[in-house]
Amino acid sequence: MITLVPNTWHGATAAAAASTVLPRPAVRCCTAPPEETDSDAWQFKLLLLAVAVGYGTNFPVGRLMNEALPAAASTSGRFLLAALALSPFISRLDRRLIWPAVATGLCDGIGYSAQSLALCDTAAAKVSFLGALTVVVVPCLSAALDGKRLGLASAPQVWLAALLTLGGVGLLEIGDSLDALRAGGVAAGDLWSIVQALGFGTSFYLIGRLISEDDDGAGADQVLPVTAVNVATVAALSALWAVCDGCGVGPLAASSSAGWLVDAGTRDAFALPGALRGDSGGGLLWTGLVTTALVRVGETKGLTRVPQSAASVIVATEPLWASAFGLLLLGEGLDPQCVVGGALVVAACVVSGLEPAAVRAALPFLPGGVGSR
């Protein structure tokens, strides 16, 4: 049977949702990965690794763009370029998938906008690690809205992944949170990072619902059309944000960047196509055409050829690449506490993609395990 599976956004959050569906933010139609020879399999695994590396660059490059542009302008420019690149596929979309693609795009739009805001004042690696909170968001939504059974015996990987994630996030947060509380507030970037996880997690949940309701499938030819509509929806939502921020409308009137569309000078410098001529031009082209449009095409190919268990491990390396590029491009280092916290989050992403039987075999003392009988 052909099923609908989400295309990964970005690896850590993607892999974190792997216990429910395969990774990341656009909807994808695919069949189960076919049997591959060893010579073929490593090529597709390398392709997925390249995808994880590409997504990992989004975080430090996003920070660099936010130093030259308002967050709304950089997000809007990135997704407008990506939407234009993928637009030829929109006309091929099956009408049954229009609203699912738009709905997940709206959720992803919230996630990407929050991610961009978080990157204004939070380390790239930390934003990436906190995004893995989807490992908690997706199962919670499934349990609350669908009554899905998530007992320790039936879904041990969910509980173990959640425990690892919460422990990792606790280590990532404890220092900054205490400093922020002493200063009389909460770190805004950390809050936006959590909103990022809520947006992406809700998208994964909606896709999971779509999978469970899909009996006949829509065909593998819908992979790129649905991705294109998803990205176009994100572009539309981020454009609305850019207009409101640029014109200083409503609550955005108080933002530090409000009014940049009103002034002719800043409008030419911050909006497309003028922004491509500035310091942020390379970043916009990279994140828009390469790591949002091109990488998704490669990711789609890789995820149809690599088993979920292997794919979830590979894409879980994304925050590690975000950390590496953050150090290389921004000079951002992580203290030992954050390194341990990040390692726990990556471990949670890997665990979330395991089969329950594998977890019970490794931990026989769990309910349902051999040692519990």
Q: 168 or 106, which is more confident?
A: 106
Token couple for 321: 């690449």
Q: 197 or 33, which is more confident?
A: 197
pLDDT category at 370 given cuts 50, 70, 90 is: low
Closest CA to 164 of 354, 370, 368: 354
- Whether 3 has a pLDDT exceeding 50, the answer reads no
What local confidence, expressed as pLDDT, does residue 211 receive? Answer: 57
pLDDT category at 2 given cuts 50, 70, 90 is: very low
Q: 290 or 122, which is more confident?
A: 290
Across residues 203-225, what is the average pLDDT?
68
Q: Judge whether 164 lies within some domain.
A: no
Q: Judge whether 58 lies within some domain.
A: yes
| pTM attached to this predicted model | 0.80
pLDDT category at 307 given cuts 50, 70, 90 is: confident
Q: Judge whether 343 lies within some domain.
A: no
Q: Judge whether 266 lies within some domain.
A: yes
Q: Give the chain's domain count.
A: 1
In contact, 156 and 368? CB cutoff 8 Å: yes
Q: Judge whether 353 lies within some domain.
A: no
pLDDT in tens, 17-29: 433 333 343 333 3
3-state secondary structure of 97: helix
What local confidence, expressed as pLDDT, does residue 214 receive? Answer: 54
What local confidence, expressed as pLDDT, does residue 217 receive? Answer: 52
10 Å CB burial of residue 49 (0-12, 13-18, 19+) is middle
pLDDT category at 348 given cuts 50, 70, 90 is: confident
pLDDT in tens, 59-84: 999 999 999 999 999 999 999 999 99
- Most confident of the following: 59-63, 143-147, 308-312: 59-63
- Whether 140 has a pLDDT exceeding 50, the answer reads yes
Across residues 91-98, what is the average pLDDT?
90
Q: Which domain holds residue 87?
A: 9-148+188-334
Q: Judge whether 346 lies within some domain.
A: no
- Whether 340 has a pLDDT exceeding 70, the answer reads yes
Q: Judge whether 56 lies within some domain.
A: yes
In sign, the C-alpha dihedral spanning 229, 311, 9, 349 is positive
In sign, the C-alpha dihedral spanning 70, 76, 80, 83 is positive
Query: Within 10 Å of residue 175's Cβ, how many Cβ atoms?
Result: 13
pLDDT category at 332 given cuts 50, 70, 90 is: confident
Query: Within 10 Å of residue 353's Cβ, how many Cβ atoms?
Result: 26
Q: 197 or 215, which is more confident?
A: 197
What local confidence, expressed as pLDDT, does residue 77 receive? Answer: 97
Q: Judge whether 263 lies within some domain.
A: yes
Across residues 138-144, what is the average pLDDT?
83
